[in-house]
Structure 1
């Protein structure tokens, strides 16, 4: 039996970054649902949290799981569940795009802390500002001589 430990930090936003998840109570319901549904489907969600317009999820991939399948399962099912239960006043949608990056075991606790502190973090910086900074940093790191 294979023993695989591949951690991926996923981030995705609501369609057009609309702050659909505008209350802490609603966010907690959605994060709990994502965790429970993933568990039923054999997906190990290590940590999940986010803010009004996005979600962070730390997942350990299984042997036969792919990034695409995991995202399809989590985003598609959770969006269906939110709409079925009429948790938002308008039709809820996640944006098609997402971000995924592997996480070294030595950094797991740091990533968990970052995901855990989303409420506090986004009092100082919007998701848009954070995304733009990350893209600039990534490009700089990637292309610096």
Structure 2
């Protein structure tokens, strides 16, 4: 539509099914490149991507012409198929159901990019469970434990 301008930055987070540590350092960079191609092919701008053995962070300049669930589904299904076709792990690989998606302002771009690019150092001090709960809290997201990633127990302390 003419005279329509948008600017939206999204930080997406999702985990390997059962939080299994299946993403190897040997092929994580190839996975990141593959996912980058998906994101750019869908008209979004990748700002940073950070893969850990059991989860991934993706930060994009979001193209408002695609629904977020459609983008996440495309990333998950395409990358899942790519991992299987290339036999990158001897284990049954798939992404967990669900994801986190958080918006950020332009003034936060550098800090979110740095956060994602420093995942390895970050996880020397904090587990993914702690990290994800912190992200939810910082974004004032209320949640039902039964719908949170599989790594959480049925009850919270």
Q: Shorter-chain TM-score: what band?
A: 0.7 to 0.9
**Could you say which residue in structure 1 is the equivalent of 2:48?**
47
1:46 alignment partner, SS class: strand
**Could you say which residue in structure 1 is the equivalent of 2:17?**
15
Measure, in 2, the Cα distance between the counterparts of 1:96 and 1:56.
15
Give the paired residue count: 140
Deviations 1:13-38 (A, max 9, x none): 000100011x3232111111100222
Greater helix share, 1 or 2? 1
User: CA offset at residue 39 of structure 1?
Assistant: 1.8
- Shift >3 Å, 4+ stretches: 132-141
User: CA offset at residue 138 of structure 1?
Assistant: 5.2
RMSD of equivalent CA atoms: 2.0
Deviations 1:34-81 (A, max 9, x none): 002222232322211121100000112213112111101111111111
**Could you say which residue in structure 2 is the equivalent of 1:116?**
117
What are the ranges of 5 or more consecutive residues in structure 2 without an aligned counterpart?
A: 143-157
Measure, in 2, the Cα distance between the counterparts of 1:131 and 1:39.
26
Deviations 1:83-112 (A, max 9, x none): 111111112100111000101000000000
Measure, in 2, the Cα distance between the counterparts of 1:140 and 1:67.
17
